[in-house]
Amino acid sequence: MKQLICCLILLISLAACKRDSSDLLVGRWDFSSLEMPGMPDFLYEIKKTGDDNALTFKKFLLGDKLILRKDSTFDLVMLKQYIHGSWKYDKENKNLFLKDVSANKLNMTVRIDSVNAVRLIFDIDEFSLNKIVNLHAADNNYYDLLQNKSYCQFYLDVDREQYSDLKNDPYSIENNKWRVKPFEQETDKQIKERVFNHLDFWQNLFADAQEKERSYVAYSWFDSPLVVAENGVKLEFYDEHKREWDQNFYDSTDANKGYQMMRKCFSKKLKFMETDDKYKRHEDVIKQLKANYTEALKD
């Protein structure tokens, strides 16, 4: 029996070795660690008492993910920035080209250091990393410690979760259209749809948590003026989220319109479901917010 198991492991390993590097790239990858100049100082700043390096990196990169899909599209969440577009791999030079479809134009080229069935390692240059860091660096997230580094190497571990329908995937474009910055001023109807997609995103988070029986839901990979907590839901002031919220719209005028529309979610009293399943309760309250929003803004 042991010999049979050893043979199976060997066959799987050989099969992985024969796979083309482009094929190995396809899949879901979770950011798990990084390496750059000045690591001792970086870890000193972000590490909490009692945490080892692995846990420190996990907390810092929680929710960050790269998904390279078979149809040559990708979804990337990196340091709170969501990017969707198309990808292409240059095997000869080991360069992965990521083309952003949004008005942010956060196109980047990362060098693949290595990839196998369980781990992906790539380098990103200073210019590309600075563009992302500058969009989201704040006093409470330590992103500024990644600025102006001559290189940064990210380590990603395979995520084996699968979704048969993109509508169920929290990281797909279907649930993140609200984060794709438009190229031109939007109509009130388009802004309304953008905000509704944001509410869809919230509902999907909690539906996914139930489906996957998650022990927790990470909120660190996005920003929203909507806050869902154990004891209720609220909409924080626009000014508290202005910097992040504005990035989802053409300009601050459209962003403020979107915020004012979202206030309509609270036009009617909410009822909180009595259940021990907090994610079921959260999903239910989001459904009520969507119903209020739709009713208040119907044509």
Can you spell out the DSSP letters for 255-297? HHHHHHHHGGGGSS-------S-HHHHHHHHHHHHHHHHHHHT
Residue whose pair of structure tokens reads 């989001």 in the numeric block:
286
Q: If we measure between CA atoms, which residue out of 203, 208, 247 comes closest to residue 80?
A: 247
pLDDT single digits (tens) 69-108: 999 999 999 999 999 999 999 999 999 999 999 999 999 9
**Tokens read off for 220:** 């660190």
**Tokens read off for 144:** 């500024």
pLDDT band with cut points at 50, 70 and 90 for residue 299: confident
User: For the CA atoms of 100, 102, 103, 104, what is the dihedral angle to 10 degrees?
Assistant: -50
pLDDT band with cut points at 50, 70 and 90 for residue 21: confident
Other CB atoms within 10 A of residue 199 CB: 20
The pLDDT value recorded for residue 2 is: 52
Q: If we measure between CA atoms, which residue out of 194, 199, 166, 165 comes closest to residue 180?
A: 194
Judge whether residue 10 has pLDDT over 80.
no
Contacts of 283 (CB under 8 A, 6+ apart): 203, 206, 207, 210
Phi-psi region of 172 (alpha: psi -120 to 50; beta: other; left: phi over 0): beta
Residue 252 to residue 243: CA distance in whole angstroms: 9
With residues binned 3-state (H G I as helix, E B as strand, rest as coil), the percentages for the chain, rounded to 5, are: 45, 20, 35
Residue 212 to residue 205: CA distance in whole angstroms: 11
pLDDT single digits (tens) 174-217: 999 999 999 999 999 999 999 999 999 999 999 999 999 999 99
Q: Which amino acid is at 49?
A: T
Q: 3-class DSSP state for residue 231?
A: coil
Residue whose pair of structure tokens reads 């990035």 in the numeric block:
247
Mean pLDDT, the chain, whole residue set: 94
The dihedral sign for the CA sequence 41, 65, 122, 139:
negative
Residue 205 to residue 208: CA distance in whole angstroms: 5
User: What domains can you pick out in the chain, each with its CATH number?
Assistant: 23-159 (2.40.128), 166-296 (no CATH)
Output the CA–CA distances (angstroms, integers) from residue 267 to 203, 264, 288, in the order listed: 19, 5, 11
The pLDDT value recorded for residue 287 is: 98
pLDDT band with cut points at 50, 70 and 90 for residue 41: very high
Residue 225 to residue 239: CA distance in whole angstroms: 9
Averaged pLDDT for residues 112-139: 96
- 196, 174 Cβ separation under 8 angstroms: no
Distance of CA 82 to the CA centre of its chain: 6
How does strand 108-115 pair with strand 27-35? unpaired
Residue 172 to residue 159: CA distance in whole angstroms: 15
| DSSP-assigned letters across all residues of 169-227 | -TTSGGGTGGGS--SSPPPHHHHHHHHHHHHHHHHHHHHHHHHTT-S----TT---SEE
The pLDDT value recorded for residue 231 is: 85
Q: For the chain, how many helices (H) and strands (E)?
A: 9, 10
